[in-house]
Structure 1
C-alpha cells in the first residue's frame, strides 16, 4: 500500500503567515540536525508557487523556519514574483533560499515567463523573486539560449 505523507509547515512572511504544504511518499526528519527529507513524488505548494521533484531536503533554523530547500530529480516549478510576474519551468536540481527569495536552478534548465514570450535555457539559472531578476550560465560546451518575441513597428506607406 502506498502512503502519502502530508507535512505542513507555517512560514512567517512580512506581516502575515502563509502556509507551506509538502506532500511526499516518504518523510524523514532529524530535528536536532535541522533537516527533513521528503522522497517520492514530492509536491510543495505555497500560495501560487509550486515545486515538484523526486526528493526534497528542507533545512530549518532554531525557530523551525525553513532556510533552504534542495529539490533533486525531474524538478518542475511555477513561481510568482512580488510584481505578479509568473514563471514556470523544469530543471534537474533546484535550491530555494527563502530569506533571499531566490531560486537557483541547475542542469537542463528551461525557464518560461508566462504572459510574455520570454524563455531562458541554460545549465544554471538564478531567479530572484523579490526584484524580478534572472541570471543564466551555459554549460561548458552549451551556450545560454534566450528566446523572446521581437515586435517590429510597421508603418503604412502612403502612395
Structure 2
C-alpha cells in the first residue's frame, strides 16, 4: 500500500508541463492526497531535465489533475536552472518558490544568482526570474542595495 501511494505520487509529479521526468530524493516524505500537498524533508534534491534544486525542505502542491502548481523550498537552497533560451543560472538563497505553469522562480533571503553564459550576477534580498522571457527583477537587502556585476565588452581603438 505504502509503495503504491509513493508510486502514484511520484508518477503524478512526472507530468510537469514539458513531460520531463522529475526525480525527488530526501530523508523523509509525507503526503496528503486530499489537500494535494507533499513535503520532502532533509537533504532534498530535485532533478528535472538540466534543472536541479537542493534544500532542507521542499513542499510540492498539486492540483486535482495531480499536476504540480507550486514548489516551495526552504533552508540552504541551491539551484541550477536552464531557461527556455538556453541561459544557465546558478545560485543560492534562503527560500525559493517555483511556479511551473508560468515557469517563474522567486528567490528570497540573501539571494546570489549568477547567469553563467553572460557572466552576470545579482545579489539581493528578493529576486524574480522569469525563464520564458529571460527577465529578472531584484530588491535590495534590508540595509544594502541590489548588487549587479557584469562584464562590459568595450571596443578597443
Q: Max radius of gyration: which structure?
A: 1
Same fold (TM over 0.5): yes
CA RMSD of aligned residues (A): 1.5
CA distance in 2, matches of 1:140, 1:108: 10
Q: 1:50 matched to which residue of 2?
A: 52
What do residues 44-98 of structure 1 show as CA deviations (whole Å, max 9, x unaligned)?
0100010000000000100111000000000000101110111000000000000
CA distance in 2, matches of 1:11, 1:24: 20
CA distance in 2, matches of 1:92, 1:131: 25
Q: Normalising by structure 1, report the TM-score.
A: 0.89
CA distance in 2, matches of 1:12, 1:101: 11
Q: 1:10 matched to which residue of 2?
A: 14
**Unaligned regions of 5+ residues in structure 2, if any?**
1-5
1:65-76 equivalences under 5 Å are 65-76=67-78
Q: Runs (4+) of structure 1 moved beyond 4 Å?
A: none
Q: 2:98 matched to which residue of 1?
A: 96
**Unaligned regions of 5+ residues in structure 1, if any?**
none
CA distance in 2, matches of 1:66, 1:12: 7
- How many pairs are equivalent? 149
How much has 1:140 moved relative to structure 2? 2.6
Q: Normalising by structure 2, report the TM-score.
A: 0.91
More helix by share: 2
How much has 1:12 moved relative to structure 2? 4.1
How much has 1:115 moved relative to structure 2? 2.0
How much has 1:127 moved relative to structure 2? 0.3
1:1-159 equivalences under 5 Å are 8=10, 9-13=13-17, 17-155=19-157
More strand by share: 1
CA distance in 1, matches of 2:53, 2:15: 16
CA distance in 2, matches of 1:44, 1:11: 14
Residues 110 and 141, structure 2, Cα contact 8 Å, conserved in 1: no
Residues 89 and 115, structure 2, Cα contact 8 Å, conserved in 1: yes
What do residues 130-153 of structure 1 show as CA deviations (whole Å, max 9, x unaligned)?
111100001231100000012221
